[in-house]
């Protein structure tokens, strides 16, 4: 499997190349958009990791061009923190997934493997469980057809729980994914956010979907049918 990384920050680029290389991938690294696009056009890549902020030709231009030219490999783009517009824009332009910097390498590797497994199938734009629905592009959440207003953090938290539904997510993972923070000590912020999210998406409805797994974290799943 051949992966192209387009990243202008030398340190990040080298780190990703080394990590993905050690994970068994053949990796090329381009330091700007022009080189990146040239490599996509000439090489045969199974996946592209694309930084958005690039000198010259930025990630959006690279993405738009490569899709227009019919290259259909999955594209995982890397965006700056808390840029909701970036995520929507990237997915609209034909990217398959995104990661917010800074991210854990293990998370990138998991996303890369998922994308490669999925092949050319597009990422779903709507996630759901039971009668709960989250529309990624429209940033809209409904339950039993009722529109629910969420803050940006609540939305991100629910998106994460839905993407990984059925999995118990440790608080530390939620912290790093939703808050871009690496902390284990102050889990209160997560507990508060989960409580608020529950008040909106679970309390007025049945069945309850978000469950606390004591000492471990949270899981979102439909109640078992008996
Ligand atoms: Ca950059």
Q: What is the pLDDT of residues 28-44, one digit of tens each?
A: 999 999 999 999 998 88
Are residues 111 and 35 part of one domain?
yes
pLDDT digits (tens, 9 = 90+) for 164-206: 999 999 988 888 888 866 665 566 888 999 999 999 999 999 9
Are residues 139 and 99 part of one domain?
no
Are residues 143 and 116 part of one domain?
no
For the chain, the straight-line distance linking the first and the last C-alpha, in angstroms and rounded, comes to 43
Give 91 Cα–ligand 1 centroid separation in angstroms.
Answer: 18
Are residues 180 and 88 part of one domain?
no
Give 99 Cα–ligand 1 centroid separation in angstroms.
Answer: 13
What range does the domain containing 58 cover? 2-120
Query: What's the confidence (pLDDT) of residue 188?
Result: 83
User: Near ion ligand 1, which residues have CB within 5 Å?
Assistant: 8, 51, 53
What Rg value do the Cα atoms of the chain yield, rounded? 18
Low-confidence ranges of the chain (pLDDT < 70): 81-83, 119-123, 180-187, 224-226
Instruction: Read off the CATH number of the domain in which 97 is found.
Output: 3.40.50.2300
Query: What's the confidence (pLDDT) of residue 34?
Result: 96
Give 79 Cα–ligand 1 centroid separation in angstroms.
Answer: 9
Are residues 111 and 14 part of one domain?
yes
Are residues 180 and 106 part of one domain?
no
* DSSP-derived 3-state class of residue 161: helix
- Peptide bond between residue 136 and the one before it cis (omega within 30 degrees of 0): no
Domain count along the chain: 2
Query: What's the confidence (pLDDT) of residue 226?
Result: 43
Which of 108, 123, 121, 99 is closest to 23 using CA atoms? 108
Are residues 97 and 63 part of one domain?
yes
Average pLDDT, the chain: 89
Are residues 114 and 20 part of one domain?
yes
Structure tokens, 16? 């990703």
Are residues 130 and 105 part of one domain?
no
The answer to whether the CB of 19 falls within 8 A of the CB of 109 is: yes
Give 36 Cα–ligand 1 centroid separation in angstroms.
Answer: 13
Report the alpha-carbon distance of residue 146 to residue 30 in Å, rounded. 46
Give 55 Cα–ligand 1 centroid separation in angstroms.
Answer: 8
pTM for the full model? Answer: 0.55
User: Is 186 a domain residue?
Assistant: yes
């Amino acid at each position: 499997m051949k992966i192209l990384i387009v990243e202008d920050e030398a340190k990040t680029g080298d780190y990703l190349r080394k990590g993905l290389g050690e994970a068994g991938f053949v990796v090329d690294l381009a330091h700007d958009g022009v080189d990146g696009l040239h490599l996509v056009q000439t090489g045969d890549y199974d996946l592209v990791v694309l930084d958005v902020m690039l000198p010259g030709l930025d990630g959006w231009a690279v993405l738009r061009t490569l899709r227009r030219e019919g290259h259909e490999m999955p594209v995982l783009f890397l965006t700056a923190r808390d840029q909701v517009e970036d995520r929507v824009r990237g997915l609209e332009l034909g990217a398959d997934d995104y990661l917010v910097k800074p991210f854990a390498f293990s998370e990138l590797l998991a996303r890369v493997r998922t994308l490669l497994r999925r092949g050319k199938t597009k990422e779903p734009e709507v996630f759901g469980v039971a009668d709960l629905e989250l529309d990624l592009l429209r940033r809209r959440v409904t339950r039993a057809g009722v529109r629910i207003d969420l803050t940006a953090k609540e939305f991100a938290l629910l998106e994460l729980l839905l993407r990984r539904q059925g999995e118990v997510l440790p608080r530390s993972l939620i912290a790093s994914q939703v808050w871009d923070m690496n902390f284990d000590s102050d889990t209160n912020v997560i507990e508060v956010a989960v409580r608020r999210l529950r008040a909106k998406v679970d309390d007025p409805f049945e069945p309850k979907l978000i469950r606390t797994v004591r000492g471990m974290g949270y899981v979102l799943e439909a109640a078992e049918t008996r």
